[in-house]
Amino acid sequence: MSTNITLTAADGHEYSAWQAGAPDAPHALVVVQEIFGVNHNIRTVANEFASAGFSVLAPALFDRARRNVELGYTPEDVQEGLALRAQIPLEETLADLHGCVTHFRKHAPHRKIGIIGFCWGGTLAWDAATRTHDFSAAVAWYGGGIAAQKDAKPHCPVQLHFGGQDTSISHQDVSAIRAMHPDVEMYVYDDAGHGFGNRDRSSFNAEANHLAWTRSIAFLEAGLHTGGK
């Protein structure tokens, strides 16, 4: 069953989250949005992870700037999403991600929790892995801001996915991340562009998406399979 619920961050901010899967599922996962809000694509991704056995929360991180944001993929939508993102300090976003962790632990205190993000969410998954100790596994798909923070050290296992034809993330950036973190599991999909995992975008690449999805599921299941933090 999937539905919207309301969460509360430690600073008192109330925000919505798309909840999917059984609350007591063996694995807990935070799905982090692109700059387009918790839209049809993100809800679909959350539901698919729920079908794979995860208890999922996809928090509406734009609620701190404007509520009920669901954007499309036109150039105007991109600019709107970027403007909304710019209004929210990273510390507040991390507080909202932590609110998801708090909610999960109410249902299963000793269960491990993972995080996966796409685009902006991919960068936030990296931030969560390097700036907090909330998560036991983190996966980032085409996180454009990771290269600028490549010196940060993850506190949990991390898996990264990039498109070889992504014009917004250079090959030099990907190589720099790999050189700084040779222990981080990283995949580049030669024929894929930015947003290759989003079925609602023209850049969707079914083959790359399937392979990255399979790898992400295996990585998260391995990282979350016992006990909890």
94-115 pLDDT, tens digit each: 999 999 999 999 988 889 999 9
Cα–Cα dist 13/159, whole Å: 30
CB under 8 A, 24+ apart: contacts of 145-148? 145/120, 146/122, 146/173, 146/177, 147/173, 147/174, 147/176, 147/177
Nearest-angstrom CA–CA distance, 213 and 93: 25
pLDDT at 80: 98
pLDDT tens by residue, 170-201: 999 999 999 999 999 999 999 999 999 999 99
Q: What are the tens digits of pLDDT across the range 135-173? A: 999 999 999 999 999 999 999 999 999 999 999 999 999
Q: How many residues does the chain have?
A: 229
* CATH H-level, domain 2-224: superfamily: Alpha/Beta hydrolase fold, catalytic domain (3.40.50.1820)
Q: What is the CA radius of gyration of the chain?
A: 16
Which phi-psi region, left, alpha or beta, contains residue 191 (left: φ > 0; alpha: ψ -120 to 50)?
alpha
Decide if pLDDT at 29 tops 50: yes
202 secondary structure, DSSP code: T
Distance from C-alpha of 161 to C-alpha of 174, rounded to nearest angstrom: 10
* Predicted local distance difference test score (pLDDT) of residue 109: 84
Please state, rounded to an integer, the average pLDDT across all residues of the chain: 96
Checking if the pLDDT of 227 tops 70, the result is no
Provide the whole-model pTM: 0.96
Q: Return the DSSP state at 170.
A: -
Q: Is the pLDDT of residue 228 over 60?
A: no
Once rounded to an integer, what is the mean pLDDT over residues 68-96? Answer: 97
pLDDT score of 40 more than 60: yes
Distance CA 72, CA 137 (A): 29
